[in-house]
A and B are shown apart, each in its own frame.
Chain A
Amino acid sequence: AQSVSQHNHHVILSEAASLELGCNYSYGGTVNLFWYVQYPGQHLQLLLKYFSGDPLVKGIKGFEAEFIKSKFSFNLRKPSVQWSDTAEYFCAVIPNNAGNMLTFGGGTRLMVKP
Chain B
Amino acid sequence: DTAVSQTPKYLVTQMGNDKSIKCEQNLGHDTMYWYKQDSKKFLKIMFSYNNKELIINETVPNRFSPKSPDKAHLNLHINSLELGDSAVYFCASSPQLSRASSYGYTFGSGTRLTVV
Contacts and interface: CB of A to CB of B under 8 A. Distances in A.
Nearest to A90: B43
B83 interface: no
Contacts of B110: 43
A35 to B, nearest CB: 10
Interface string B94-113: 10010011101111111000
A90 B40 CA distance: 13
Nearest to B99: A100
A113 B85 CA distance: 34
B115 interface: no
Contacts of B33: 102
B25 interface: no
B56 A101 contact: yes
Interface string A35-62: 0101000111110010110000000000
B20 to A, nearest CB: 19
- For this complex, into which size category does the number of interface residues on chain A fall? 20 to 34
Interface string A80-105: 00000000101010101001111110
Contacts of B104: 32, 34, 46, 49, 92, 94, 102
A45 B107 CA distance: 7
Most buried by B among A92, A100, A109: A100
Interface of B: 31, 33, 40-45, 48, 55-56, 90, 92, 94, 97, 100-102, 104-110
Given A43-B109, A100-B48, 17 more contacts: A32-B102, A34-B104, A43-B108, A44-B43, A44-B90, A51-B101, A94-B100, A99-B97, A100-B97, A100-B101, A101-B48, A102-B33, A102-B92, A102-B105, A104-B43, A106-B42, A107-B43
30 contacts: A32-B101, A32-B102, A42-B109, A43-B107, A43-B108, A44-B43, A44-B92, A46-B106, A49-B104, A88-B41, A94-B100, A94-B101, A94-B104, A96-B101, A99-B55, A99-B56, A100-B31, A100-B94, A100-B97, A100-B100, A101-B48, A101-B56, A102-B45, A103-B45, A104-B42, A104-B43, A106-B42, A107-B41, A107-B43, A109-B41
Interface of A: 32, 34, 36, 38, 42-46, 49, 51-52, 88, 90, 92, 94, 96, 99-104, 106-107, 109
